[in-house]
Amino acid sequence: MSASLTEAAAFLHTLADGLGTPLNVVTPDQIAENAARFEAVLRRHRLGGGVFFAHKASASSALLRRLAATPSSVDVASLEELQHALACGFTPDRITATGPKDPAFRYLGARVGVTFHVDGQSELEALAGLVRDHGLAPVRVLLRLSGFPSAGVRRLVRRSRFGTPVADLPGLLDAVERCGDAVELLGVGYHLDTVSLDEKALALEGCVKAMDACRARGLRPRVVDIGGGFGVSYLAEAGQWEAYTTELIRAVLATRPPLAWGNHGYGLRNESGTLAGGLGLYPAYREVAGPAYLDELLAMRAPSLGRPLATLLLENLYDLRVEPGRALADQCGVTLARVLETRRDTEGGAGLWSVRLDLNAGDCPLEDHGILVDPLIVPRPRPDSGPGAGGRGTEEPRAGGPVAVHLYGNLCLESDLLTKRQVFLPRLPDPGDLLCFVNTAAYCMDFGAHEAERRPRARKVAATRAAGERDGAWRWCLDTQYWPLAVEAVAHHAGTNRQEEASA
C-alpha cells in the first residue's frame, strides 16, 4: 500500500503544498488488511479469541475508525485512548484497558464495562472498591503475569516492571476470590518486550499452567492474552542488514570510514582494536515477524508440557487474545518532509553533504523506534509534468550519482539529526523535493512529536483508494475527518465540519 503511495509524486506534492510539512499520511485500509492476516492465523489454528490493536502505537483516528469496522478490537492504555476508542465506534466488549491506570481511566472503563488487564493485587482491589462504591456491574479482569520460571535448562527471561510474578499467583487468586462480588476473572496474560520466541513460548505455557491453577480453585477462566511484540521486518532482504552491520563493525574498528555521525557505534566500541559492547539496535530485518511470528509461536512445542502451544489452548477451549501494535500498523503510513537546503559539511560530517529538512527529530524519531530505512526522494514534478495515471509524477531522474548525507532537522539544536546514520540517497535532493520516510505509522509519527520553537506538529491525513481500485487515484481527507464510508459521504461530512478543519 505505502509502496504505491510513495510513487504518487504529484499527489504527495499537492498534499505537502497545501498542508505543509512535516506531514503524516496514513493508509487506513492497510490496517484492516493487517488485522485480517492476524485473525486468519487464529482461525488456522482453530482458536477463538481475537486481535486487540495496541492503540498506543498510533494516535490516528482514521486507523482506529477503519479498524472498528473490522472484527478486531482495541487495547487502550489511557483515559484519552479509551474515550477515543469509544468515539471511533468500538463497543466496550471490544476494548481492553492495560497498563498503569489513573482513577478517571478506571472509572470510565468500569462504568462502560471494558475488560481490565490488571497488574496486581492493589489494582484489583481498587477496581473492586470502585465497582462497589458506584454500584456498577462486576468488571471482567485478566491478570497480567510476569516472571515465568523455566524448568530444566534455564532460559533467560527478561524482568518486567509490570504484572504479578507467577510465584505470587496464589495470593493474587485469594484476592480474586475475596473480590468475587465485584470482578469476574476472564483469564490471564502477559506482554513481554522481547523478540525471543523461546521466552514467549515459556510465558504462554506459564499462562496455561496459571489457568489450571485458577480452575483448581473452582474459578472459570477462558481467555489467555499474550500481549503484543510480534514485530515488523523493515527490510526486505536479510543480506542488507548483514551488510550494514558488518560495515558498521568495520567503521567502529576504523577499518573503513565512519558510517554514522561522530563514528557512533550504536553500543559497539573499539577498545584498542578489539570490538566491545553490543549492538543496541532493533533488528531491521526479521526473518519471522507479524502474523507469521504468531503462527510460529502457536506451532511451537510447550517447553515442559511438550505439545504445540495451540493444541494446549484448544484442548482447554481457551480463547487467545493478541495485542499487536507495531505489527498492525505495518505499512500504514509515511512521513513527508520538504528539503530546505543542501550543503557540504565541513567539520563533523567529514566532507559529506548535509540535507536540512522541514521537520525535526521529534516529528520522526526513527532510531527510537527501530526504523533504519533510508528515506525516498519524491522529486518536485516539473511544471510541464502532469499528475499522470494515479497521480504519479512523470519526473525524469536528475543528474548526479548516489551520495551519503546527514539529515538535519529544523531546530536550532546541534543534536537535531533525524538519524545519526549516514543516509544513502540515489542523488543529492534539490530544495523543494520531498523526502518520504516510510513505514512510520507505528509509534514513530506520534510518540515523540512536540511543539518546540512553537513549530506546529505534523498534520495527519488519511489516503485511500476506492474499493477495487488498486491502481486508481489516491484520495485524501484530514485524519480527523475520515470515516469508513463511501467517498461522497465523507466529502459531505468534511464540508459540514469547518471547525475541525480549522483546528487540524
Ligand X SMILES: Cc1ncc(COP(=O)(O)O)c(C=O)c1O
Taking the complex as a whole, how short is the minimal distance between the CB of residue 368 and ligand X, in angstroms? 13
Cα-Cα-Cα-Cα dihedral of 483, 364, 17, 55, to 10°?
A: 0
Handedness of CA 410, 415, 421, 422 (dihedral sign): positive
Q: How far is the CB of 482 from ligand X (least distance, A)?
A: 22
Residues 6+ apart with CB under 8 A from 453: 411, 412
Which backbone phi and psi does 232 adopt, to 5 degrees?
Answer: -135, 140
> 3-state class of 50 per DSSP?
strand
Q: What is the residue type of 323?
A: E
Minimum CB separation of residue 162 from ligand X in Å reads 7
CB of 130 to ligand X, least distance (A): 21
Contact 442, 57 (CB under 8 A): yes
User: Smaller CB distance to ligand X: residue 107 or 282?
Assistant: 282
Residues that bind ligand X (CB under 6 A): 54, 57, 75, 98-99, 191, 227-230, 323-327
Neighbours of 238 (CB within 10 A): 13
For residues 101 and 78, give the distance between their C-alpha atoms in angstroms, rounded to a whole number. 7
Closer to ligand X by CB, 165 or 257: give it.
Answer: 165
How far, in Å, CA of 333 to CA of 63, rounded?
Answer: 10
Q: Which is nearer to ligand X, 41 or 54 (CB)?
A: 54
Report the nearest approach of ligand X to the CB of residue 312 (Å): 22
Question: What one-character DSSP code corresponds to residue 308?
Answer: B
Give the shortest CB-165-to-ligand X separation in angstroms: 17
Spatial separation of the C-alpha atoms in residues 258 and 255, rounded to whole Å? 9
**492: region left, alpha or beta (phi > 0 left; psi from -120 to 50 alpha):** alpha
Give, in degrees to the nearest 5, the angle at Cα 447 between 442 and 451.
Answer: 135
Residue 6: C-alpha distances to residues 30, 393, 494 (Å): 14, 11, 25
Q: 21 or 98, CB closer to ligand X?
A: 98
Which residue's CB is nearer to ligand X, number 193 or number 341? 193
In this complex, which beta carbon is closest to ligand X, that of residue 64 or of residue 337?
64
Nearer to ligand X among residue 163 and residue 303 (C-beta): 163
* Helices of type H across 179-273: 197-216, 238-252
Query: In the complex with ligand X, which residue's Cβ is closer, 321 or 356?
Result: 321
Minimum distance from CB of 75 to ligand X (Å)? 6
Residue 92: cis peptide before it, omega within 30 degrees of 0? no
Distance CA 115, CA 93 (A): 7
Compute the least distance from the CB of residue 77 to ligand X, in Å: 7
C-alpha cell at 367: 532510531
Cβ of residue 224: shortest distance to ligand X, in angstroms? 14
Cβ neighbourhood burial of 181 (10 Å; 0-12, 13-18, 19+): exposed
Considering the complex, state which of residue 324 and residue 390 has its C-beta at the smaller distance from ligand X: 324
